[in-house]
Amino acid sequence: MIVAHNGEGKATLSSPTKVTFYKNKVTDTFYYTASINIGEQPTNYNAELKRAVAMFRLRISDVQIPQNVKQFKFYYTGGSSTLNCINGFGNVNSKQREYRDIPTKSADGYYIFDVYTFPHADGKELKMKVDAIDASENSVEGIEFPLVPVTKNKVTQYTGQIFNGIHADAPTGINLSIDDKWNPDYYDVTF
């Protein structure tokens, strides 16, 4: 069995059906499982790792994020933080929590956040709650997505606004007009 991931710490293998990760944090993860026979003759094996995770991508289209927002907190259920390497799916019902710093806007004008989970074989959907939080972890603004479809090796992308105010994709304009009529009352001075 081979497991490769993009996170801190190491993966812990309790059994082929139970692989856990440092602090239960799921990142982009790949796996390979096979039976290998070791004999007297040299043999080569090719191992192609497969992606085991689904990604939820949030693209925020607000023009700016309020200054008091320091991070985004993602709290989600319906996925797993433990991998079953035999079938490549998640095998526990996890309550996952991830914090993300505010990124620089992308070239096309979005703030982009990615979080990962191991989907269950039964195609269970995620319940996702996203909060923009201040330095004390108080919610400044939040949004919930109750039925987020996730599939292994696929990105589920949600795009929209979280904050009230100017919309990135709605033009804002100022209409000008000129009242060019003189006031009929005038100062009459004789010299």
Q: Is residue 9 part of a domain?
A: no
Q: Is residue 129 part of a domain?
A: yes
CATH number of the domain encompassing residue 77: 2.60.40
Q: Is residue 133 part of a domain?
A: yes
How far apart are the C-alpha atoms of 164 and 171, rounded to whole Å? 15
Q: Is residue 25 part of a domain?
A: no
How far apart are the C-alpha atoms of 174 and 75, rounded to whole Å? 40
Residue 189: band (very low, low, confident or very high) from pLDDT cuts 50, 70, 90: very low
Q: Is residue 14 part of a domain?
A: no
153 is in which domain, residue-wise? Answer: 54-160
Which one of 1-15, 17-31, 63-77 scores highest in mean pLDDT?
A: 63-77
The string of pLDDT tens digits covering residues 3-12 is 889 888 888 8
The string of pLDDT tens digits covering residues 75-117 is 999 999 999 999 999 999 999 999 999 999 999 999 999 999 9
Question: Which residue is listed with tokens 């105010």?
Answer: 165
% pLDDT > 90, the chain: 62
Instruction: Please give the span between the terminal C-alpha atoms of the chain, in angstroms, as a whole number.
Output: 105
Q: Is residue 92 part of a domain?
A: yes
Q: Is residue 173 part of a domain?
A: no
Mean pLDDT of 51-67: 94
Q: Is residue 105 part of a domain?
A: yes
